[in-house]
Amino acid sequence: MLTRREAAIRLDIPPEMAARNGIPARLTEAELAQIEEIPPAWLAQSRANRTGRKPVWVELTCIVCGYAEVARPKKWWPDFSFVACDHHDEDDLPLVRLGWVRGRYEGIGSRFVGILDEQVG
Ligand SMILES: [Zn+2]
């Protein structure tokens, strides 16, 4: 069985859209396959409208340990250089290059910090 969130990830749609359009809280692989095979009008419409826009889901993968999760990107997230679990030591992260500054963004996904390295000047 899949949860609605898992189905939304697979269909590449927001979970609210899945709920609003009657995707059940739990469904089988076969039910999901059928939705993908014969997309209902709202899904076809949403796909047609989405070309070239920001992704609905992104995979966050820790650069240190490889832990990964799929999350909805927030509007305020910059294009991170990389992400890492928030419990890793600063020393475990790749070094900042000379002449670059590092920005840290807390609260990314369930357990990540986002790191943005930018060249100065
Ligand atoms: Zn990690």
Q: What is the 3-state secondary structure (H, E, C) of 23-62?
A: CCCEECHHHHHHHHHCCCHHHHHHHHHCCCCCCCCEEEEE
The whole-chain average pLDDT of the chain stands at: 94
The rounded Å distance from CA 67 to ligand 1 centre is 5
The rounded Å distance from CA 27 to ligand 1 centre is 31
The rounded Å distance from CA 110 to ligand 1 centre is 12
The rounded Å distance from CA 92 to ligand 1 centre is 10
**Better-predicted residue by pLDDT, 34 or 48:** 34
| Distance in angstroms (rounded) separating the CA atoms of residues 113 and 101 | 16
The rounded Å distance from CA 65 to ligand 1 centre is 4
Angle between helices 29-37 and 4-11 (to 10 degrees): 30
The rounded Å distance from CA 75 to ligand 1 centre is 23
Which letter does DSSP use for residue 84 in this model?
Answer: E
Q: Is beta strand 112-119 parallel, antiparallel or unpaired with respect to 100-108?
A: antiparallel
Model confidence, pTM: 0.79
pLDDT band at residue 111 under the 50/70/90 scheme: very high
pLDDT digits (tens, 9 = 90+) for 44-80: 998 888 777 778 999 999 999 999 999 999 989 999 9
Contacts of 45 (CB under 8 A, 6+ apart): none
